[in-house]
Every structure is written in structure tokens, then in C-alpha cells.
Amino acid sequence: MNAANFLKMAHGDLAGLRQLAFDFFNDTRRQMTGWRALMESGNFAQLREDLHRCKGGASLFGLERLVALLSSVEGPAALENRGFDISNFETELSAAENAVLSMTD
């Protein structure tokens, strides 16, 4: 996590930014419930769109590891050829949640 970016985004309101970050985390977890089905049905266009939006949110909060993970599947046919490791993503998402908690406690 890029702590400097996170603190800069807070503009002195860590509690407010924490709430926004957890809105992002919760929305992402809700979206994740459909990702496996998108892969199984071959709907990579929708999955790519979901992951791109998620990357934008992660970037906003300075969650560099999530951004890097999501960037790794943005190339042409990357999802089709390699798939997407949802379990690894969930592990990284949990680590990001813990990082935000430690920054805002």
C-alpha cells in the first residue's frame, strides 16, 4: 500500500477515507461473486471491464499490489489464456483491507 498516497487522499479525514475504502472493498467482494461464472461462461469482456473498474478504485486508494495484479491481466487475451486467480486476488484484497485498518486506527 502506498501510505503517502492514502494519507494525501484523506485530506485530514482518515475516518471518511476509511469508510470510502471499505465501500470499495465491499463492492468488490460483491462483484467477485460473479467472476467465476463469467470465466466459466467465457464472458471475458465483462470480467475485463469489472477488473478494470476494480483497478481504478485500487489505484485511487494507493493499493499498489492490487493494481499490479489487475494490470497483469489487462493485455489482449490475457484472461482468455491465463484466467484469473480469484483466490489470490481475495488474499490480496484482505491484505489491503488490513493495511487500511492499520493506517486508520
State the pLDDT confidence band at 1, using cuts at 50, 70 and 90.
Answer: confident
DSSP single-letter state for residue 70: H
Phi and psi at residue 57, to the nearest 5°: -65, -45
Q: How far apart are CA 28 and CA 86, in angstroms?
A: 12
pTM score:
0.90
Q: pLDDT band for position 105 (50/70/90)?
A: confident
Q: Give the pLDDT confidence of 51-79 residue by residue, as tens digits.
A: 999 999 999 999 999 999 999 999 889 99
Cell reading at 103: 493506517
- Provide the residue type at 36 as one letter: R
Q: Is 11 left (phi over 0), alpha (psi -120 to 50) or beta?
A: left
Domains present along the chain, CATH in parentheses: 3-104 (1.20.120)
pLDDT band at 47 (very low <50, low <70, confident <90, very high): very high
Residue ranges of alpha helices (H) inside the chain are 3-10, 14-32, 35-41, 44-60, 64-71, 78-82, 86-104
